[in-house]
Amino acid sequence: MAIVVEHDKRKQEILQKSLDVFIEEGYEDATFQKIADRCGITRTTLYIYFKNKHEIFLGSIKELLSELEESLKKIMMDSSLNSEATLRAVLSTLADSIEYNKKLFSVLLNYLMQLKKSGVDTNERVRRRVIRLRHLLSTILIKGIQAKEFKEINVKIINDTLYGLLESAIFRIAVLNKDDVADVRAALNTTVDLFKA
């Protein structure tokens, strides 16, 4: 009797388990065989779902970002929160994610450095991955200004400031090997304090 395989479910499982391989081994040392072993499948089966390690890595990152985006959307949809509380909850969730994914950000940073050495525009790659996050921050800021919860501010400048602080948190975690981003959390909250009405 043939075994029925739910391909979408299996693909999701591969992406989740492969992320652990990338975190433990690093991008360069993670191999198709190690990923297949972790998933309990053969390399041949793995090729059914993905053509190479690069595709698996990007899929894993995309999956993680999608999960984070869903969490942020739930915060945005919470009608009991005003704009300030929504913004603080979103920033806190992002800081939590940065702390929780410390090893992944180290792998991601090394991956981006390799891309940069090969002449790839890493700024454009990162920008495409975070454009929805930046839009979400702008949406919260605009709603807060319209509701008179925030001062009349330049949304782009504040968005750049908040995003820059989040990048700083990633740098501290991935490069400086800090265990937490408490100082960045404080800076994020102080920044919000500066433009609330």
Architecture of the 1-61 domain: Orthogonal Bundle (1.10)
User: Sorting pLDDT into bands at 50, 70 and 90, what band is 19?
Assistant: confident
Whether the CB-CB separation of 63 and 16 falls below 8 Å is answered with yes
Beta-carbon contacts of 129 under 8 Å, excluding residues fewer than 6 positions away, are: 61, 62, 65
Q: Tokens 């002449």 correspond to what residue?
A: 119
The listed range with the strongest mean pLDDT (7-11, 101-105, 132-136) is 132-136
For the domain covering 78-195, report its CATH number: 1.10.357.10
The pLDDT, as a whole number, for residue 34 is 93
Max Cα–Cα distance, the chain, nearest Å: 67
Sorted by where each begins, the domain ranges of the chain are 1-61, 78-195
The pLDDT, as a whole number, for residue 193 is 95
Mean pLDDT score of the chain: 89
Give burial (CB, 10 Å; 0-12/13-18/19+) of 81.
Answer: middle
Higher pLDDT pick, 127 / 140: 140
The pLDDT, as a whole number, for residue 5 is 60
The pLDDT, as a whole number, for residue 38 is 92
The pLDDT, as a whole number, for residue 128 is 82
Reported as a single tens digit per residue, the pLDDT across 37-69 is 999 999 998 888 999 988 998 888 888 888 888
Whether the CB-CB separation of 159 and 133 falls below 8 Å is answered with no
User: Sorting pLDDT into bands at 50, 70 and 90, what band is 145?
Assistant: very high
User: Sorting pLDDT into bands at 50, 70 and 90, what band is 3?
Assistant: low
- Measured between alpha carbons, how far is 54 from 57 in angstroms, rounded to an integer? 5
What 3-state class would DSSP assign to 126? helix
Residue 165 has pLDDT above 50, yes or no: yes
Reported as a single tens digit per residue, the pLDDT across 65-88 is 888 889 999 999 999 999 999 999
Higher pLDDT pick, 23 / 86: 86
User: Sorting pLDDT into bands at 50, 70 and 90, what band is 1?
Assistant: very low
Q: Residue 151: how many CB atoms within 10 A of its CB?
A: 12
User: How many Å is the Cα radius of gyration of the chain?
Assistant: 19
14-26 average pLDDT score: 87
Higher pLDDT pick, 154 / 124: 154
